[in-house]
C-alpha cells in the first residue's frame, strides 16, 4: 500500500510539473509588488500600519527558513500574544483561505501567513461563528516568475521522555499484603510466592510483567517527510503546487504492533488567472490521503492498569515446559494456529480469556483510511468602470472528509496452565482452553465518519483615496457556510439531524486622514436557526478609533527616537449562538417516555398506563448571547525600529448565557412535570492584557532578534443561577476556571484524633494514616459543603502565559530557539498513578506511605485494599502548581545562498538544518509533566533537514 501511494505521489508530481511548465512558458520576469507590508484581515488585506484592531500576523514563509515544523499552528503561543490555543480564553474559528476548516487540513509549508484576529471589532464580519476570535491561515500562491521548484527533505527520531515508574511484582505483593493487614484482612500472597517471584527462575508461573521494557518497546521511533513545491507564472496565469509525503512508525514492537505506521499524501494546487483586464479567477484543489495501520488492543491502557502478576497471568505458555508425558497437551500444540516464535501458546485466565496483549499478537489489524478533498473557486471583478476603487469578489468552496476502517479480525484460543513440581522440576500438567482458533481471509469495513462543508462568500469592496489625504474603505459581505457531520451509530452515536450553519451579512466602513486619525465601523446582521422565529435575526455593531501620535508635531519634533506610536480603542456588541447548544431549546416539550410520564393505575387498581407530562417549558423570547467588549490598544516602535512594543487591554462581558434552574422560579414549576424553560440569564467576564515586545539589531554580519509575547488574564462569573448554602461556595464573583476542593490537614495519627475530629462522610472506616480534612463551616461534619476555592485550573488560559523566541544570525548560519510558559494555575494528581486503591497497580508514589514507623515523614496515605474514597478527594493534599516553561524548539540552519550557485543553471540555493523539539520542561513538577499515564509517551524529536531550490 505504501509503495502504491508513493507511485501515485510521483505521478501527481510529474503531472504538476508538466502543467506548471506549460502555464509558465512565457517567462516574463516582471517584478511583483511586495506584500511584506500587507496583513490579512477579515475578507481582505490592509497595510500593517493601518491596522487599528487587535490583529497579530506571522510570515510563515520567512519563519520556515529558520524553524521547521509540519503542524499549521505549531508553537503559535511563542510568537503571538493572547494566543494559548484559545484567543483571549475562547476557542477560535479556524479559516483556511477564508473557509472553516481544521488546522490539520493544511501543513505549515503550504502556508504563506497566519493572522490572529483577537478583538470583537476585527471578527465582526464573520458573524456568530467568529465571535470567539478567528485564526486566518492563508496558503501560498504563485507569482509572476519563471518556473521554480523547492525541495525539502526531513528525517528524525522520536525519543520518549519518561515512562511511569511502577513497582515490580514482588514489591507489589508485599505491599498489597500490607494493605490487607491495614484493613484487618488476611494476606493474599505467601512468602514463598513472593520469594519465587523475586527470584525470577520461572517467570511464566510467577510472572513479573514490565510493560515499559524492551520486550514491548523500541528505544525510539522515526519520521520522514518529503515536500516538493512548484510555483511560477506569467502575466495571465500564476500557479503554486505542493506535494508532500510523510511516514512514521510506532514505538511499539509487540506482535502486529511492530508494523504500526502512519502514511500521508498531501497534494495542493492553487491557480490564479487573469481572464480579462477587469476579471480575475482562481481555483484551489486539495487532496489529503492518510492511512494508519495499527494492531488491535489498548496497550497503553493495559500498561497503566494491569498488575505485574495479575492473578498469575502471563501472556505466554512455554511449550517446552508442558508435561511431555501428557499426549493431550502435544495435540493442543499441534493443532494451534498461534505458536509464537515457535515456543509459546497464548496465555489466558478464566477471568482474562482475552487481553490486550493477545489481541495485539493474534487477532489481526485495523487500517484507518482518511480522505479529505477541498475545492475553492473564486472570481474577482474590477468595477472601476462604474466608479474608481469598486470591486466585487465571489467564492464558493466544497469540502469533503471521510474516514472508515478496514479490519482483519481472527478468533483465537488462550490457555491457562496448571503447574506442578515433579522431581524438583516445574512442569505444566494441564491446560484450560478458552475460545477457539479460527481463520479469516476477508477484511471488513468498520468505523464510518463523514463531514461535508459548503461555503459561499460574496463581497463588494470599495477603497479610494481623495485629495491624497482622505482614505476611505467600505465593504459589504455575505458569508455563510453549512457543515454536516455523519457517522454510523456505533462510531459516534450516529448522524446529526441539524447541520451547523453560519449565515450573516457583514458591513464595514473605514476612514483615515493622512494615516493619522482613524475611524472604523464593522457590523453584521446575523441569523440563527436555533432561536424562535421572531428572534432569529440580530445586529452586531462595533466601532474603532485610532490616533497615530507619532505623526503629531509634539512627538516628531521632540522625541525623534519614537518611530511609530498609535493608540486605538474599540467597543463592540456581538450577537452569537455558539453558546446555545442545540436546536429547539426555546420550545416546550411533553412526553410519556424517558421518564417524563408518570405511571397511574385505574381506580380498580388492576391496570393503568403512563400519562403525558411536561419535560420543559417554552420561552418564545429566547435570544442571542452577547459579547460586549471594550478594548484599548497600543502599538509602538523606537530607536530606528529596533524596539517594538504592542499591547491590548480587553474586557469582555458574555451576557445572556442559557440557564434552566429551579431557584428563579416558583416551586410549582416542578413536581408533577417540569415546566422550567431555558432563558438568557448567565453572565461571564474576561479581562486581560496581551503584550508583544521585540528587540532586533544588526552589527556587520551579525544580527539578532528577541521576541517576548504574553498575556495576563482573569475571568469572573458575574451572574449564575446557584443555590449554595454557604457564600464561600458561590461561583459568582469567582474565576470561570475556579477549582474547588477540600483543605487537607495532614494524616490522622491515632484513633483518638479520629474520634475527636469532625465526622468525614466519604465512606469506609477511618484509620490512622488516612487524610484529615478541615471542617470549614464548623458543623461537625466534613462533606461537600466544606469544599472551597483552591485556585485556577487554567482550562482556557492561565493567569499568566508567555512565549519567547530568539534568532541569532551570522552570515549564513542561523540559530533559532523558542519556548513558552504558564504560571498561576493548579492541578490535582488524581489519576490512577497517584490514587492507588483496591487492586490498582502500585506506582512508586506508595513507597513513602504512612505506617506507624513513618508517621512523621510519610507523604502518602496508608495503603488499603478498599476504594478508600476518603483519601482520594480533590484537596490541597493532591494539589500542585502547574507553573512551567517549555523549551519547544532549537534549530541550527546553514544556508548556501545564491552566490554559491552563480554558475549553476539548475541549483539556485541549498540549506541544511538540525533541530530538536520538546527538549525541556522547567518546573518543580517536571517528572510528572513529562510523563503520560495510560497513553503513549511524550517524545523529544531530533530532526535533520535539507532544502534546495531549482
pLDDT in tens, 829-875: 999 999 999 989 999 999 999 999 999 999 999 999 998 999 999 99
Residue 445 and residue 491 in contact, taking contact as beta carbons nearer than 8 Å: no
| Residue 26 predicted with pLDDT over 50 | no
Using alpha carbons, select from 871, 841, 851 the residue that is nearest to residue 764.
871
- In 607-678, DSSP assigns E strands to 608-610, 613-616, 625-638, 643-659
Query: pLDDT at position 595, please?
Result: 59
Using alpha carbons, select from 446, 455, 454 the residue that is nearest to residue 403.
446
| Residue 257 predicted with pLDDT over 70 | yes
Can you tell me the distance from the alpha carbon of 775 to that of 756, in angstroms, rounded to the nearest whole number? 12
Three-state DSSP at 425 gives strand
Taking residues 510-518, report their average pLDDT. 96
Residue 117 and residue 572 in contact, taking contact as beta carbons nearer than 8 Å: no
739 — pLDDT class (breaks 50, 70, 90): very high
908 — pLDDT class (breaks 50, 70, 90): confident
pLDDT in tens, 109-132: 999 999 999 999 999 999 999 999
Query: pLDDT at position 604, please?
Result: 73
Query: pLDDT at position 438, please?
Result: 85
Query: pLDDT at position 33, please?
Result: 32
pLDDT in tens, 408-429: 888 999 999 999 998 889 999 9
Query: pLDDT at position 386, please?
Result: 94
Q: Which three cell numbers stand for residue 688?
A: 486581560
Query: pLDDT at position 31, please?
Result: 31
Name the one residue in this structure whose C-alpha cell is 490521503. Answer: 289
Q: Which three cell numbers stand for residue 685?
A: 467576564
Residue 138 and residue 113 in contact, taking contact as beta carbons nearer than 8 Å: yes
Taking residues 517-542, report their average pLDDT. 95
Q: What letter would DSSP give residue 808?
A: E
906: left (phi over 0), alpha (psi -120 to 50) or beta: alpha
Using alpha carbons, select from 882, 942, 828, 929 the residue that is nearest to residue 164.
929
Beta bridge partners of 503: 480, 527
DSSP codes joined into one string, 834-881: TS--TTPPPBGGGGGB--STTTTT--BPPP-SS--TTTSSSBTTTEEE
pLDDT in tens, 176-205: 999 999 999 999 999 999 999 999 999 999
Taking residues 481-489, report their average pLDDT. 83
pLDDT in tens, 572-582: 999 999 999 99
Three-state DSSP at 887 gives strand
- Residues near 638 by beta carbon (within 8 Å), at least 6 away in sequence: 561, 562, 563, 644, 645
Can you tell me the distance from the alpha carbon of 661 to that of 653, in angstroms, rounded to the nearest whole number? 22
Residue 1 and residue 13 in contact, taking contact as beta carbons nearer than 8 Å: no
3 — pLDDT class (breaks 50, 70, 90): very low
765: left (phi over 0), alpha (psi -120 to 50) or beta: beta
Q: What letter would DSSP give residue 459?
A: E
Can you tell me the distance from the alpha carbon of 141 to that of 151, in angstroms, rounded to the nearest whole number? 16
Long-range interactions of 388-391: CB distance < 8 A, separation 24+: 388/464, 389/462, 389/463, 389/464, 390/460, 390/461, 390/462, 391/460, 391/461, 391/462
| Residue 907 predicted with pLDDT over 90 | no
Taking residues 257-272, report their average pLDDT. 96
Taking residues 143-151, report their average pLDDT. 94
Name the one residue in this structure whose C-alpha cell is 463523514. Answer: 450
Query: pLDDT at position 29, please?
Result: 33
20 — pLDDT class (breaks 50, 70, 90): very low
Residues in the chain, total: 950
Taking residues 243-257, report their average pLDDT. 95
Can you tell me the distance from the alpha carbon of 207 to that of 311, in angstroms, rounded to the nearest whole number? 9
Query: pLDDT at position 11, please?
Result: 37
| Residue 521 predicted with pLDDT over 60 | yes
| Residue 14 predicted with pLDDT over 50 | no
Can you tell me the distance from the alpha carbon of 759 to that of 874, in angstroms, rounded to the nearest whole number? 18
Using alpha carbons, select from 660, 687, 692 the residue that is nearest to residue 675.
660
Element containing residue 13 per DSSP (H, E): helix 2-23
Can you tell me the distance from the alpha carbon of 730 to that of 738, in angstroms, rounded to the nearest whole number? 11
Query: pLDDT at position 4, please?
Result: 45
Share of the chain above pLDDT 90, in %: 81
Beta bridge partners of 564: 637
Instruction: Give the CA distances from residue 356 to residues 298, 302, 363, 926, in Å, rounded to whole numbers and listed in that order.
Output: 6, 7, 10, 30
Using alpha carbons, select from 870, 892, 748 the residue that is nearest to residue 814.
892
pLDDT in tens, 800-828: 999 999 999 999 999 999 999 999 999 99
Share of the chain above pLDDT 70, in %: 94
Element containing residue 19 per DSSP (H, E): helix 2-23
597 — pLDDT class (breaks 50, 70, 90): low
Can you tell me the distance from the alpha carbon of 560 to that of 558, in angstroms, rounded to the nearest whole number? 6
- In 700-741, DSSP assigns E strands to 702-719, 738-741
Report the range of poorest mean pLDDT among 109-113, 405-409, 785-789: 405-409
Q: Which three cell numbers stand for residue 765?
A: 472506616
Using alpha carbons, select from 841, 904, 682, 745 the residue that is nearest to residue 303.
841
| Residue 720 predicted with pLDDT over 90 | yes
Three-state DSSP at 900 gives helix
Instruction: Give the CA distances from residue 852 to residues 437, 695, 863, in Å, rounded to whole numbers and listed in that order.
Output: 53, 59, 12
Name the one residue in this structure whose C-alpha cell is 476504594. Answer: 867
pLDDT in tens, 49-72: 999 999 999 999 999 999 999 999
| Residue 6 predicted with pLDDT over 50 | no
Instruction: Give the CA distances from residue 819 to residues 467, 705, 706, in Å, rounded to whole numbers and listed in that order.
Output: 48, 14, 12
Can you tell me the distance from the alpha carbon of 724 to that of 731, in angstroms, rounded to the nearest whole number? 9
Residue 350 and residue 432 in contact, taking contact as beta carbons nearer than 8 Å: yes
Residue 194, judged by CB atoms within 10 A of its CB (0-12, 13-18, 19+), counts as buried
Q: Is the dihedral of CA 122, 125, 128, 130 positive or negative?
A: negative
Can you tell me the distance from the alpha carbon of 880 to that of 925, in angstroms, rounded to the nearest whole number? 8
Residue 843 and residue 166 in contact, taking contact as beta carbons nearer than 8 Å: yes
Report the range of poorest mean pLDDT among 245-249, 500-504, 853-857: 500-504
- The count of C-alpha atoms lying within 13 angstroms of the C-alpha of 712, restricted to the half-sphere facing its C-beta, is 5
Residue 222 and residue 158 in contact, taking contact as beta carbons nearer than 8 Å: yes
Burial 60-69 (b: 16+ CB within 10 A, else e): beebeebbbb
Can you tell me the distance from the alpha carbon of 439 to that of 548, in angstroms, rounded to the nearest whole number? 77
Can you tell me the distance from the alpha carbon of 853 to that of 362, in angstroms, rounded to the nearest whole number? 49
pLDDT in tens, 27-51: 323 333 333 579 999 999 999 999 9
Q: Which three cell numbers stand for residue 510?
A: 473605514
Query: pLDDT at position 531, please?
Result: 95
The end-to-end CA distance of the chain, in Å, is 31
CB atoms within 10 A of CB 639: 12
Three-state DSSP at 198 gives helix
Query: pLDDT at position 441, please?
Result: 65
Between 755 and 442, where is the model more confident?
Answer: 755
Query: pLDDT at position 307, please?
Result: 95
CB atoms within 10 A of CB 105: 19
Q: Work out the mean pLDDT of the chain and round it to a whole number.
A: 91
Q: Which three cell numbers stand for residue 41?
A: 484581515
Residue 447, judged by CB atoms within 10 A of its CB (0-12, 13-18, 19+), counts as middle
Report the range of poorest mean pLDDT among 539-543, 554-558, 756-760: 554-558
Confirm whether pTM is higher than 0.75: yes
Residue 868, judged by CB atoms within 10 A of its CB (0-12, 13-18, 19+), counts as buried
493 — pLDDT class (breaks 50, 70, 90): low
Query: pLDDT at position 498, please?
Result: 81
492 — pLDDT class (breaks 50, 70, 90): low
Amino acid at each position: 500500500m505504501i509503495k502504491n501511494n508513493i507511485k501515485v505521489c510521483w505521478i501527481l508530481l510529474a503531472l504538476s510539473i508538466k502543467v506548471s511548465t506549460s502555464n509558465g512558458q512565457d517567462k516574463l520576469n516582471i517584478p511583483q509588488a511586495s506584500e511584506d507590508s500587507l496583513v490579512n484581515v477579515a475578507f481582505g488585506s490592509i497595510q500593517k500600519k493601518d491596522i487599528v484592531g487587535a490583529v497579530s500576523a506571522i510570515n510563515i514563509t520567512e519563519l520556515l527558513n529558520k524553524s521547521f515544523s509540519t503542524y499549521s499552528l505549531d508553537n503559535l503561543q511563542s510568537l503571538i500574544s493572547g494566543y494559548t490555543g484559545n484567543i483571549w480564553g475562547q476557542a477560535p474559528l479556524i479559516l483556511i483561505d477564508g473557509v472553516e476548516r481544521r488546522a490539520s487540513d493544511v501543513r505549515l509549508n503550504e502556508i504563506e501567513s497566519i493572522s490572529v484576529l483577537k478583538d470583537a471589532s476585527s471578527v465582526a464580519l464573520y458573524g456568530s461563528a467568529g465571535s470567539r476570535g478567528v485564526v486566518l491561515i492563508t496558503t501560498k500562491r504563485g507569482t509572476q516568475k519563471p518556473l521554480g521548484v523547492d525541495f525539502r527533505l526531513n528525517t528524525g527520531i522520536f525519543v520518549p521522555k519518561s515512562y511511569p515508574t511502577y513497582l515490580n511484582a514482588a514489591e507489589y505483593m508485599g505491599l498489597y499484603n500490607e494493605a490487607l493487614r491495614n484493613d484487618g484482612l488476611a494476606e493474599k500472597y505467601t512468602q514463598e510466592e513472593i520469594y519465587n517471584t523475586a527470584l525470577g527462575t520461572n517467570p511464566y508461573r510467577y510472572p513479573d510483567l514490565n510493560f515499559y521494557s524492551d520486550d514491548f518497546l523500541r528505544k525510539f521511533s522515526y519520521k520522514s517527510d518529503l515536500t516538493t513545491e512548484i510555483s511560477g507564472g506569467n502575466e495571465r496565469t500564476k500557479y503554486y503546487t505542493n506535494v508532500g509525503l510523510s511516514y512514521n512508525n510506532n514505538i511499539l514492537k509487540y506482535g502486529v504492533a511492530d508494523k504500526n505506521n502512519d502514511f500521508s499524501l498531501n497534494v495542493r494546487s492553487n491557480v490564479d488567472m487573469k481572464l480579462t483586464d477587469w476579471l480575475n479567477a482562481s481555483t484551489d484543489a486539495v487532496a489529503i490521503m492518510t492511512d494508519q495501520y495499527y494492531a488491535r488492543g489498548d496497550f497503553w491502557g493495559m500498561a497503566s492498569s494491569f498488575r505485574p502478576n495479575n492473578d498469575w497471568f502471563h501472556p505466554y505458555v512455554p511449550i517446552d515446559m508442558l508435561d511431555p508425558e501428557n499426549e493431550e497437551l502435544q495435540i493442543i500444540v499441534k493443532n494451534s494456529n498461534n505458536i509464537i516464535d515457535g515456543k509459546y501458546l497464548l496465555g489466558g485466565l478464566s477471568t482474562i480469556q482475552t487481553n490486550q496483549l493477545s489481541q495485539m499478537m493474534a487477532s489481526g489489524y485495523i487500517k484507518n483510511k482518511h480522505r479529505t478533498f477541498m475545492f475553492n473557486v473564486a472570481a474577482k471583478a474590477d468595477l472601476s468602470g462604474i466608479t474608481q476603487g469598486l470591486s466585487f469578489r465571489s467564492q464558493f468552496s466544497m469540502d469533503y472528509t471521510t474516514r472508515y476502517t478496514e479490519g482483519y479480525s481472527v478468533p483465537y484460543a488462550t490457555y491457562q496452565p496448571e503447574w506442578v513440581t515433579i522431581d524438583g522440576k516445574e512442569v505444566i500438567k494441564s491446560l484450560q482452553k478458552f475460545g477457539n482458533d479460527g481463520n479469516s481471509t476477508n477484511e471488513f469495513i468498520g468505523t464510518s465518519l463523514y463531514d461535508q462543508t459548503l461555503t459561499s462568500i460574496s463581497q463588494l469592496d470599495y477603497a479610494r483615496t481623495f485629495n491624497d489625504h482622505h482614505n476611505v474603505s467600505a465593504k459589504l459581505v455575505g458569508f455563510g457556510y453549512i457543515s454536516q457531520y455523519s457517522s454510523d451509530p456505533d462510531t459516534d452515536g450516529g448522524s446529526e439531524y441539524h447541520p451547523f450553519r453560519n449565515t450573516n451579512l457583514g458591513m464595514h466602513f473605514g476612514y483615515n486622514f493622512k494615516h493619522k486619525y482613524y475611524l472604523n465601523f464593522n457590523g453584521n446582521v446575523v441569523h440563527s436557526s436555533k432561536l424562535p422565529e421572531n428572534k432569529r435575526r440580530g445586529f452586531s455593531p462595533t466601532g474603532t478609533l485610532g490616533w497615530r501620535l507619532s505623526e503629531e508635531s509634539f512627538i516628531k519634533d521632540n522625541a525623534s527616537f519614537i518611530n511609530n506610536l498609535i493608540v486605538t480603542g474599540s467597543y463592540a456588541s456581538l450577537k452569537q449562538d455558539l453558546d446555545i447548544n442545540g436546536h429547539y431549546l426555546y420550545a416546550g416539550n411533553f412526553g410519556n417516555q424517558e421518564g417524563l410520564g408518570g405511571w397511574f393505575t385505574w381506580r380498580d387498581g388492576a391496570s393503568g398506563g403512563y400519562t403525558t407530562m411536561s419535560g420543559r417549558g417554552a420561552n418564545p423570547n429566547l435570544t442571542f448571547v452577547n459579547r460586549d467588549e471594550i478594548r484599548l490598544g497600543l502599538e509602538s516602535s523606537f530607536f530606528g525600529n529596533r524596539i517594538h512594543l504592542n499591547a491590548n487591554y480587553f474586557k469582555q462581558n458574555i451576557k445572556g448565557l442559557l440557564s434552566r434552574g429551579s431557584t428563579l422560579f416558583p416551586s410549582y414549576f416542578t413536581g408533577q412535570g417540569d415546566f422550567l424553560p431555558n432563558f438568557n440569564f448567565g453572565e461571564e467576564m474576561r479581562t486581560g492584557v496581551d503584550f508583544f515586545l521585540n528587540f532586533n539589531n544588526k552589527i556587520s554580519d551579525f544580527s539578532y532578534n528577541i521576541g517576548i509575547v504574553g498575556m495576563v488574564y482573569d475571568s469572573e462569573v458575574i451572574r449564575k443561577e446557584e443555590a449554595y448554602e454557604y457564600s464561600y461556595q458561590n461561583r459568582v464573583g469567582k474565576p470561570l476556571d475556579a477549582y474547588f476542593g477540600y483543605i487537607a490537614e495532614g494524616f490522622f495519627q491515632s484513633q483518638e484524633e479520629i474520634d475527636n475530629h469532625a465526622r468525614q462522610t466519604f465512606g469506609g472506616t477511618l484509620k490512622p494514616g488516612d487524610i484529615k480534612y478541615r471542617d470549614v463551616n464548623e458543623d461537625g461534619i466534613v462533606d461537600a459543603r466544606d469544599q472551597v476555592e483552591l485556585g485556577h485550573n487554567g482550562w482556557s488560559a492561565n493567569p499568566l502565559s508567555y512565549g519567547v523566541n530568539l534568532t541569532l544570525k551570522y552570515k549564513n548560519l542561523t540559530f533559532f530557539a523558542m519556548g513558552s510558559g504558564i504560571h498561576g494555575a493548579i492541578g490535582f494528581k488524581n489519576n490512577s498513578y497517584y490514587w492507588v486503591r483496591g487492586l490498582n497497580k502500585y506506582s512508586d508514589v506508595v513507597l513513602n506511605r504512612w505506617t506507624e514507623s513513618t508517621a512523621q515523614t510519610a507523604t502518602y496515605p496508608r495503603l488499603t485494599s478498599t476504594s478508600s474514597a476518603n483519601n482520594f478527594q480533590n484537596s490541597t493534599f493532591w494539589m500542585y502548581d502547574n507553573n512551567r516553561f517549555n523549551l519547544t524548539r532549537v534549530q541550527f540552519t546553514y544556508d548556501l545562498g545564491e552566490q554559491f550557485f552563480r554558475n549553476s543553471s539548475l541549483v539556485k540555493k541549498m540549506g541544511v538544518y538540525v533541530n530538536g523539539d520538546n527538549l525541556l520542561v522547567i518546573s518543580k513538577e517536571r517528572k510528572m509533566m513529562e510523563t503520560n499515564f495510560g497513553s503513549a509517551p511524550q517524545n523529544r524529536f531530533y530532526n535533520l533537514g535539507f532544502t534546495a531550490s531549482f
